[in-house]
Amino acid sequence: MHTVWKGSISFGLVNIPIKLHTATENNDIKLRQLHKECHSPISYQKVCPICDKEVKSEEIVKAYEYTKNKFVVLDDEELEKLKKENEDKAVEIIDFVKLEEIDPIYFEKSYFMAPDANGGKAYALLRKALKESGKIGVAKIIIRSKEQLAVVRVYKDALLMETIHFPDEVRNVGDVPNIPAEDSVVKKELDTALLLVDQLTTVFDPDKYTDEYRTALMELIEEKKSGSVTVAKLEKQAISPSNTTDLMAALQASLDKTKKKKPAPRKKAAAKMKA
């Protein structure tokens, strides 16, 4: 695995040299944009609308727009100084908390943690301590010049670091429009919905979920490469908007559908015949 960050993490006076490896990957199929006439890839230029000319990389500066068309310009030396000052700080586990205390909305990106040279013993110690305590560590880390809040937890036999959003990065749910203010659920509808939830409840198996669109797109690409194209549309279930009058009917239809999918219970073995 490619190392994306190298440094150390500590809790108390225990220091662990580590390497970070990205734990997940984006498998989206990237499509290029071509000129329809000659199929040449389209290139993009950085153009100043005032000067009406292309701008070279060395002519570009970074700035913060604090109000519409008002900027504070920051030069590279100032940004580099802040970066070095932060990077010199050790990554330290600040607190230990329970995983269930953190809402999933905070989680951002996952990294596998591997011990660096001479870090195996301390790595194993932290892993064991987290397992035995049932806790996760909360830490701060600098990745690509950005300070990140992160949690450290055990994943199978490894330590996993997950960057999480700071509280001010999570938007206020109170700003979401049209959320019903009162609980107007009818008991009969709730009971049927709970029955449907029970019918659809299973053990989570990530291998059963696949990206059907990506699979179909790759098949189309392979067919076009070979010159034999037969495009089949992805099947999509018809979903009609629900309202209070047909909600119960939709719930019942859903229940009936799940019952058909579930295999019929096996009949008990017949009693042994007497000799």
- pTM for this one? 0.72
Find which of 57-66, 105-114, 145-154 is predicted with most confidence, using mean pLDDT: 105-114
β-sheet bridge partners, residue 21: 3, 112
Residue pointed to by tokens 């499509």? 31
Q: Average pLDDT in the 79-104 region? A: 81
Question: φ, ψ for residue 45 (rounded to 5)?
Answer: -110, 145
Q: What pLDDT score does 179 carry?
A: 84
In contact, 150 and 161? CB cutoff 8 Å? yes
Q: Average pLDDT in the 231-241 region? A: 55
Q: Average pLDDT in the 92-108 region? A: 94
In contact, 234 and 216? CB cutoff 8 Å? yes
Q: Tell me which of 6-10, 157-161, 164-168 is least confident.
A: 6-10
Does the structure show a pLDDT above 70 at 251?
A: yes
In contact, 92 and 10? CB cutoff 8 Å? yes
In contact, 121 and 107? CB cutoff 8 Å? no
Does the structure show a pLDDT above 70 at 90?
A: no
Q: What pLDDT score does 135 carry?
A: 96
Nearby residues of 114 by Cβ (< 8 Å), 6 or more positions away: 1, 18, 19, 20, 21, 158
pLDDT band at 84 (very low <50, low <70, confident <90, very high): low
Does the structure show a pLDDT above 70 at 237?
A: no
Mean pLDDT of the chain: 83
- Which of 124, 135, 133 has its CA nearest to residue 157? 124
178-210 per-position pLDDT tens digit: 888 777 788 888 888 899 889 889 888 888 888
Instruction: Please give the Cα distance from 163 to 161 (Å, whole number).
Output: 7
Per-residue b/e over 41-58, b at no fewer than 16 CB within 10 Å? eeeeeeeeeeeeeeeeee
25-82 per-position pLDDT tens digit: 888 888 888 888 888 988 888 999 889 899 988 899 999 998 998 999 988 888 877 7
